[in-house]
Amino acid sequence: MEGRELIVNRAARFLRDGDLVNLGIGMPTQVANHIPEGIEIQLQSENGFIGIGPTPSAEEWDHDVVNAGGQPASILPSGCTFDSCMSFGLIRGGHVDATVLGALEVDQEGNLANWIIPGKKVPGMGGGMDLVAGANMVIVTMEHCDKKGNPKILKKCTLPLTAAHEVDYIITELCVLHVTPEGLVLEELAPGVTAEEVQAKTGADLIIPEHVGCMV
């Protein structure tokens, strides 16, 4: 297991039995396919669903059921649908136990930039600002570096912020980082990856404990 599959599999194992969880657009939606056996999670989609299930096959897909990114989704027998007012009432009311979302940049203070690159057209912020502020736990899933090899985990975000001091965990293909008041703690490493390699690819100083766990 490597790359994106490793990231979403690890994110799924942060979720607890009975949690109400929101999955962001893109890579986070794949977390739905990796929920551990024996754990019952209610997945909430900001376009008005609770009870989102695994990605369906083309033959099984009901074209009226899509996730927040407009991708095919399934809804479990216990699921329900509602309007955007109810959806954001749940989010802003603090009823979402965890949210998993992507990022352009994250920094050592738990600041998140995930909605715009200056000069490029985007459809808008979506529900990211509400989710990051309203969820009880914020998990960022992303590649460790951008396509040019530049770190996406920094001492201070350079892009416009989605939210300040809200990120709890960062999961990449290299490691799991815990955002603490003291800084970024390296909690787990991917198989074959060293702490020195992670530090070299990170634009912030890491706190490296004597024992670092394994992501798998």
Phi, psi of 68 (to 5 degrees): -65, -20
Helices (H) and strands (E) in the chain, counts: 4, 14
**How far apart, in whole angstroms, are the C-alpha atoms of residue 101 and residue 118?**
20
Taking the model in full, what pTM does it have? 0.92
Residue in 67, 51, 150 with CA at minimum distance from that of residue 101: 67
Residues of the chain with pLDDT under 50: none
Q: Residue 103 contacts by C-beta under 8 Å, 6 or more apart in sequence?
A: 112, 113, 114, 140, 142, 152, 170
Q: Which of 46, 109, 166, 187 is catalytic?
A: 46
**How far apart, in whole angstroms, are the C-alpha atoms of residue 22 and residue 214?**
25
Q: Could you confirm whether 46 is annotated as catalytic?
A: yes
CB burial of 83-118 (b: ≥16 within 10 Å; e: otherwise) equals eeeebbebbeeeebbbbbbbbbbbbbbbbbbbbeee
pLDDT of residue 45: 87
Task: Quick: pLDDT tens for 123-167.
Answer: 666 778 899 999 999 999 999 999 999 999 999 999 999 999 999
